[in-house]
Structure 1
Amino acid sequence: MKPAKQKKLEAAGWKVGSAADFLGLTDAEEMLVSMKLALAGKVKELRQGQNITQTELAKRIGSSQSRVAKLETADRSVSLELLMRTLVTLGASQNQIGRIVSQQPIRKRPAVSRKNHGKELAKS
């Protein structure tokens, strides 16, 4: 966000920060979310690169197509273990998985919020 825009928002009563700040995530929670997103993105990338449908991948991992869809979007119900097991099924090595989770998180756009009657409201 441009500094001028940030100053203008803050002057109007808006609070500017990261999504993790807005959601109240701890550093550990933010790290886990970042790792899940990276692993999920790689699952989708490898699946598509191998021209495998979600249904075909589901059969390979003993699951359902809807579960693979959730897996690829890093749904909160998907475990890190399932993400890693799926990557191994797609041919990823232990070293490749290590590199995926150790990558720097994608730069986040600041979240913007304003207090209203004691409650934080998000505005897009």
Structure 2
Amino acid sequence: MNATKRKKLEAAGFVVGGTREFLGLTDEEMAYIEIKRALSENLQTRRKQQKLTQVQAAKLLHTSQSRVAKMESADKSVSIDLLVRANLALGASPRDLKLAF
């Protein structure tokens, strides 16, 4: 957001902030979200680097295409455990995952 727009909104009484402030998240909750997002992005990047479609990745992961889509979008129904296992199944090393976040 540009500075002019921000000043206009603040002058009108709006509070401009980030996700943390809006949702009132703790540092731990923010870290959890960032880790989950990093794992999701890493999974999508790894799949694309291997030139796999979501359908092909789903077959390798023994799941459905819609589940892969949820994993890649960090859907709330997807656990960090599942994201870690999926990344490993697509060839990520534990070291790769450490670098993801």
Report the TM-score when normalising by structure 1: 0.75
- Hey, what does 2:30 align to over in structure 1? 30
> Which consecutive residues of structure 1, in runs of 5 or more, have no partner in the other structure?
102-124
Matched, 1:9 2:16: no
Runs of 4+ in 1 over 2 A off after TM superposition: 1-8
How far does the alpha carbon of each residue in 1:57-106 deviate from its partner, in whole angstroms, 9 at most, with x for none? Answer: 112222111100000000011010111111111111111100102xxxxx
Where is the helix percentage greater, Structure 1 or Structure 2?
2
Q: Which has the higher contact order (CA 8 A, sep 6+)?
A: 1
What 5-or-longer segments of structure 2 have no aligned partner? none
Q: How does 1:1-124 map to 2 (within 5 A)?
A: 1-101=1-101
Cα deviations by residue, 1:32-63 (Å, 9 ceiling, x for unpaired): 11111111111111101101111121122221
Total equivalences in the alignment: 101
Q: Percent of counterpart pairs with the same letter?
A: 47
SS at match of 1:36: helix
Q: TM-score, normalised by structure 2?
A: 0.91
Q: How well do the aligned residues superpose, as a CA RMSD in angstroms?
A: 1.3
Larger Rg: 1
Q: 1:7-41 deviations in whole A, cap 9, x for unaligned?
A: 32111110111112112222111111111111111
